[in-house]
Structure 1
Amino acid sequence: MYDLTGFQRDLLYVIAGLDEPHGLAIKEELENYYEKEIHHGRLYPNLDTLVDKGLVEKGQRDRRTNYYTLTRRGRREIEARQEWEEQYID
């Protein structure tokens, strides 16, 4: 997780919190959090990076819609990050 950007970490948390979200659902969640538009050119390459790193799995709902889920490794990385953060936050 140390080699991810903050945006990529946020993607992991959003994917973990939703049930097999598609790209637009992830985009909407992040836009609500960041309070600004997230462009497709930023979103999808970062999702692909998480897939390439083995943290996220991409499935296909139909010809146009993909969904994303955390892998076991992705879940472990989030849990390890939370444990690390708890050392510093009371």
Structure 2
Amino acid sequence: MYDLTGFQRDILYVISGQEEPHGLAIKEELEQYYESEVHHGRLYPNLDQLVDKGLVEKGEVDRRTNFYAITSRGIRELEARREWENQYLDERLSDRQQ
């Protein structure tokens, strides 16, 4: 996970939160979060990289539409990332409560 960009991590989170989304659904979720347009030329190469890394599976709905699903490795990577983030957040939050 350390070698992913923030954008790629966001894609993983979006895919993990949906049931086999297609590219357009992922794009729409990211645009809501970023509050700006996500171009196809940015999205699809990043999706392909995540597939190449074994974090996402790509399947075909029909000749024009693909779906994406997070792999068990992708889930493990997100869980490891969450644990890493929580160690800092938990520490920071406990300092504020004192």
In 2, Cα distance between the equivalents of 1:70 and 1:34? 21
Identity fraction in percent: 79
4+ aligned runs moved over 4 Å, structure 1 = none
Quote how far apart the aligned CAs of 1:48 are: 0.1
Residue of structure 1 in register with 2:30 after alignment = 30
> How far apart, in 1, do the equivalents of 2:27 and 2:39 lie?
8
1:1-90 to 2 correspondence within 5 Å?
A: 1-90=1-90
How many Å separate the matches in 2 of 1:75 and 1:60?
21
Matched to 1:78, the amino acid is L
| Bigger Cα Rg | 2
- The unaligned stretches of length 5 or more in structure 2 are 91-98
Report which of the two has the higher share of helix. 2
TM-score by length of 2: 0.91
Structure 1: stretches of 5+ with no match in the other structure: none
How far does residue 35 in structure 1 lie from its aligned partner after superposition? 0.2
- Secondary structure of the equivalent of 1:36? coil
Alignment-mate amino acid for residue 63 of structure 1: R
Mapped to 2, the partners of 1:76 and 1:70 lie a distance apart of: 10
Instruction: Give the C-alpha shift of residue 80 in structure 1.
Output: 0.4
Matches of 2:71 and 2:18, distance apart in 1: 14
